């Protein structure tokens, strides 16, 4: 599969490494344009390309990986969504570079807000608990799989992201819809920032 990224910073690059390892192609995009990404895609290697953000957003699956304060302007700058799956990996903090001042998102979960700003996209909240060093590290630790959480209102989209992330090597925990699951996994929720491992096979 070809996956686009909107944003090509630390988080998107960590994601790209995992996706490339799992055999996918990744089209990275940022604000400054593809020329600014040449060195990064060269380092990522075969399967990674630099693209305009409109081109990255046209992929069937797209990772949103921009700072929270930039989410509204970023989504407003993209063409209309046409049922692409939008993986929302953002965390609602103001500022950048380790500034963890929480943003006020009112009554919605942050991914509900993202979904409202991206009509036509099938939004799945995922990976926001994975700090880059864990994303870049082996998904298997002493035989146990790193845990990621997903939430979405669209069950088909959620299943596809689950399959993608299981293909990366993760154990995926489905937390439900964007409202309830989103509030549990987003910053401030009980599973925010958790670095969990699952040992052995799950007995369903
Ligand atoms: N870092 C982590 O460990 C981590 C883990 C989980 C989730 N996250 C979340 O992932 C998101 C990105 O974090 P990061 O650490 O990757 O940030 P970062 O390294 O600062 O990268 C931000 C990226 O967003 C791009 N961007 C900003 N405004 C844009 C716009 N209007 N259109 C297109 N691209 C735009 C920037 O492009 P330019 O360089 O061209 O400006 C840059 O490529 C945040 O919401 C963060 O909370 C981060």
Q: Confidence class of residue 99 from pLDDT cuts 50, 70 and 90? A: confident
Percent of the chain with pLDDT over 90: 89
Residue 114: its pLDDT value, please? 98
Minimal-distance CA residue to ligand 1 atom 3: 131
Query: Coil, strand, or helix at residue 5?
Result: strand
The CB of 63 under 6 Å from ligand 1? The reply is no
pLDDT, tens digit, 9 for 90 and up, residues 44-87: 999 999 999 999 999 999 999 999 999 999 999 999 999 999 99
Tell me what the mean pLDDT of segment 161-187 comes to.
Answer: 97
The CB of 68 under 6 Å from ligand 1? The reply is yes
The CB of 130 under 6 Å from ligand 1? The reply is yes
Query: Coil, strand, or helix at residue 43?
Result: helix
Residue 204: its pLDDT value, please? 62
Please list the alpha-helical segments (H only) found in the chain.
10-21, 38-44, 53-57, 71-76, 110-117, 132-136, 155-168, 180-185
Minimal-distance CA residue to ligand 1 atom 5: 131
Q: Please say whether the beta carbons of 84 and 59 come within 8 A.
A: yes
Would you tell me how many other CB atoms lie within 10 Å of the CB of residue 136? 14
Q: What is the DSSP letter of 93?
A: E
For the chain, report the end-to-end CA distance as a whole number of angstroms. 29
The CB of 25 under 6 Å from ligand 1? The reply is no
């Amino acid at each position: 599969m070809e996956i686009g990224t909107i944003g090509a910073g630390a988080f998107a690059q960590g994601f790209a490494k995992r996706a490339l390892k799992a055999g996918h192609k990744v089209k990275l995009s940022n604000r400054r344009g593809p020329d600014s990404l040449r060195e990064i895609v060269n380092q990522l290697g075969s399967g990674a390309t630099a693209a305009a953000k409109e081109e990255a957003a046209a992929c069937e699956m797209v990772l949103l990986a921009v700072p929270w304060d930039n989410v509204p302007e970023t989504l407003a700058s993209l063409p209309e969504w046409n049922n692409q799956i939008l993986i929302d990996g953002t965390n609602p903090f103001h500022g950048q570079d380790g500034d963890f001042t929480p943003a006020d998102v009112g009554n919605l979960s942050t991914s509900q807000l993202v979904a409202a700003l991206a009509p036509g996209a099938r939004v799945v909240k995922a990976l926001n608990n994975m700090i880059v060093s864990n994303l870049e590290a082996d998904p298997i630790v002493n035989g146990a799989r790193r845990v990621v959480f997903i939430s979405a209102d669209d069950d088909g989209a959620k299943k596809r992201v689950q399959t993608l992330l299981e293909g990366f090597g993760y154990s995926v925990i489905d937390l439900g819809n964007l409202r309830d699951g989103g509030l549990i996994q987003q910053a401030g929720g009980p599973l925010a920032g958790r670095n969990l491992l699952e040992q052995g096979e799950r007995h369903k």
